[in-house]
Amino acid sequence: MSVSEGKAYPAEIFRQHGGLLRMSEAIKYGISRYALYKMRDNGALEQVSRGVYRLVDLPPMSTPDLVTVSLRFPKAVICLISALSFHEMTTQIPHEVSVAVPRGTRMPSLDIPPVHAYKFSPEAFKAGIEKYQIDGAIVQVYSAEKTLADCFKYRNKLGMDVVLEALKIYRSQKRFNLDKLLKYARVCRVEEVIRPYLEASL
């Protein structure tokens, strides 16, 4: 195998997996640490975050913060303001990535991008998870309806104006699903809180 072929092989492995890999995944697929560092030093790879590498010749990432956090913490779920932003249900600009983790697990912590983790009960954590393939990574985000229920639960932290704006935008998107909203409101134990606002908006 020529030197050029040797360089192409790790790059091909990256391409087969969306152009973005954690170091542990790259090693599992047969790329040595030496080859990984050489690709980085040669400018073929960029280090997106600690232990996360991406081919530099790919188009810019559409949601780099969500992708980075999802790669570093694959079990976490994007929630609250970050989920509202993902679903285009807020005018707020997230200054950190909000994620949910099950109670009893290690809290994610990251400097770039900053992460704010919330501990959810097992039932609330599992409910309403949607998975998206973004920039070569699997990103877990709560559905629009589950996100609204979560926002009502955390209304004192987020501000009621943010929550009601999200509900208004959700309705304007013409995908209003009362059954789903009430289902997740029950999971989050905010059915009695959310009902008057739903009735007022019907």
**Does one domain contain both 71 and 156?**
yes
The proportion of the chain whose per-residue pLDDT surpasses 90, expressed as a percent, equals: 44
**Does one domain contain both 46 and 69?**
no
- pLDDT at residue 9, as a whole number: 79
pTM, 2 dp? 0.75
**Does one domain contain both 35 and 69?**
no
Write down how long the chain is: 202
**Does one domain contain both 45 and 10?**
yes
pLDDT of 110 > 80? The answer is: no
Quick: pLDDT tens for 54-64: 888 877 766 88
52-80: b (≥16 Cβ within 10 Å) or e: bbbbeeeeebebebbbbbbbbbeebbbbb
**Does one domain contain both 120 and 154?**
yes
Q: Domain containing 175 — which CATH number?
A: 3.30.460
**Does one domain contain both 110 and 169?**
yes
Region label for 104, one of left (φ > 0), alpha (ψ between -120 and 50) or beta (otherwise): left
